[in-house]
Amino acid sequence: MGVQTIEEQAWEALEKTIIYYQGKPVGTVAALDPDSDALNYDQCFIRDFVSAGLLFLIKGKPEIVRNFLEETLKLQPKTGQLDCSKPSRGLMPASFKVELINGREYVRADFGDHAIGRVAPADACLWWIFLLRAYAIATEDMELVHRSDFQEGICVILELCLVTRFDMYPMVLVPDAASMIDRRMGLYGHPLDIQSLFYASLRASLELLLPTQSNQRIIQAVQARLEPLTTQLRENYWLDTERLNEIYRYRVEEYGEGALNQFNIFSDSIPFYKLAEWLPEAGGYLAGNLGPSQLDCRFFAIGNLMAIISSLADEEQSHKILNVIELRWSDLVSHMPMKLCYPALEGADWHIVTGADPKNRPWSYHNGGSWPVLLWMLTAAARKMDRAELAHHAIAVAERRLVQDRWPEYYDAPDARLIGKESRRYQTWTLTGYLLAKELIADPSHLNLITFSYGGVL
């Protein structure tokens, strides 16, 4: 027998992670590390399954994705209620598990009520819509999408995002730690990672919802939200040299409609000199968060890459984001693609913002750690903008380490040379992130499952 390729090894490891319910494959566990406590890594996380689902669709195995979509849809609460111990209508769980009780199988969901830190999974329902659209494109199985339970499932997610709110911004308001970064990292309010996903799921919903009488109200609301959401993100989250100059000279305490500094950002809160030096002239990116007197200038990979993939960022902005990644490669990619967030919070910032979280020490885990799962998003974004060389380079960098390091969840250190301190081995989305990147680069036509066109919205 010949030596197995990296891809064959990854597939072999991936197949072991599949979870079955009533004899049918329904998802994948988060990690199968023989040397660590499972904690909740033996569950299927909605966000973690997305890259696996896309890969299965590309490889002509849509059943597991269909089963996943159907089973998770059953977990979603459909009625509104006033009991705080129950999940809200429309919410999707962060993860689920198949349990055997007295010889019978049950699917048990975690809506954040068991998760470490009791964090709310605001991203799960958005990823769910994103994957449903990919399933529809790959299989053309519109019968499933048009089924009344699926139409209702999409509508209640949209209602949750569009209706329930205190503020009057077009962005969606979420609590801290409501996405892949599921620990305190200063992401309460309107974090970019969620806004990019929100935008993608609004675009996807317009393709998935039938124009029935009962859907009209929600379809119109989605159409009405897309324009101000896009403008807000493209304008007020955007950072490049020109924008930095505007913000640097902002006036404060402006009242009313004509205010330029709408969020009353105090220029002393922004490290202008450092940022101006770091940000290449040809580059730009979307800021990590925006709110009253808050413009978080950290670079967040998911939000920026998803903005390119979904066309939330326009063409020029998308190229500028990729320019930053290319020209600041040693900061953002270095020895493992790529940093989830850059730069790390250090000193008093780390203490105050993370609550002195030892797992999120500077340059570790979510706080400046590097996550191989991001390889598929980087590949998709680069390929979409016809910059495949960036993706090839990133894949080559990852291939040097992943097998010998046994597919770690994340890496630590400013240059990503250390295997994450508490990182799981055989982390499923590390396997699928790599395999999916290989598929996307080998056949870019698969990008149609995940990308959205420019225009048609504004």
- Nearest distance from C-beta of residue 173 to ligand GLC, angstroms: 20
Q: Could you say which DSSP state residue 369 is in? A: -
Q: Does position 48 bind ligand GLC by CB under 6 A?
A: yes
Q: How far apart are CA 291 and CA 303, in angstroms?
A: 16
- Nearest distance from C-beta of residue 116 to ligand GLC, angstroms: 7
Q: Does position 407 bind ligand GLC by CB under 6 A?
A: no
Q: Could you say which DSSP state residue 234 is in? A: I
Q: Which of 237, 248, 364, 365 is nearest to 307 (CA)?
A: 237
Q: Does position 182 bind ligand GLC by CB under 6 A?
A: yes
Q: Which of 458, 451, 401 is nearest to 430 (CA)?
A: 401
Q: Does position 45 bind ligand GLC by CB under 6 A?
A: yes
136 vs 181, beta carbon nearer ligand GLC? 181
Q: Does position 180 bind ligand GLC by CB under 6 A?
A: yes
Region binding ligand GLC by CB under 6 A among candidate stretches 43-51, 127-135, 284-292, 384-392:
43-51
Exposure b/e, 337-370, CB count within 10 A at least 16 = b: bbbbbbbbbeeeebeebbeebeebbbbbbbbbbb
- Nearest distance from C-beta of residue 405 to ligand GLC, angstroms: 17
Region binding ligand GLC by CB under 6 A among candidate stretches 45-53, 76-84, 266-274, 276-284:
45-53
Q: Does position 110 bind ligand GLC by CB under 6 A?
A: no
Q: How far apart are CA 320 and CA 334, in angstroms?
A: 19
283 vs 408, beta carbon nearer ligand GLC? 408
Binding residue count for ligand GLC, defined by CB under 6 A: 6
Alpha helices in 108-215 (DSSP H): 122-139, 142-146, 148-162, 192-208
Q: Does position 357 bind ligand GLC by CB under 6 A?
A: no
Region binding ligand GLC by CB under 6 A among candidate stretches 42-50, 78-86, 306-314, 335-343:
42-50
Pick out residues in 192-211 that bind ligand GLC (CB under 6 A): none
- Nearest distance from C-beta of residue 45 to ligand GLC, angstroms: 4
The 3-class SS string of 92-128 reads CCCEEEEEEECCEEEEEEECCCCCHHHCCCHHHHHHH
Residues facing residue 20 across a β-bridge:
25
Coil vs helix vs strand at 257: coil
Q: Does position 176 bind ligand GLC by CB under 6 A?
A: no
- Nearest distance from C-beta of residue 182 to ligand GLC, angstroms: 5
Four-residue CA torsion sign, 446, 451, 455, 457: positive
Q: Does position 47 bind ligand GLC by CB under 6 A?
A: yes
Among 13, 19, 30, 413, interactor with ligand GLC by CB under 6 A: 30
- Nearest distance from C-beta of residue 15 to ligand GLC, angstroms: 18
- Nearest distance from C-beta of residue 154 to ligand GLC, angstroms: 23
CB 9 within 8 A of CB 404: no
- Nearest distance from C-beta of residue 84 to ligand GLC, angstroms: 23
- Nearest distance from C-beta of residue 25 to ligand GLC, angstroms: 19
The two structure tokens encoding residue 122: 């605001």
Exposure b/e, 26-60, CB count within 10 A at least 16 = b: bbbbbbbbeeeeeebbbbbbbbbbbbbbbbbbbee
Q: Does position 384 bind ligand GLC by CB under 6 A?
A: no
**Which residues of the shown chain bind ligand GLC in the complex (CB under 6 A)?**
30, 45, 47-48, 180, 182
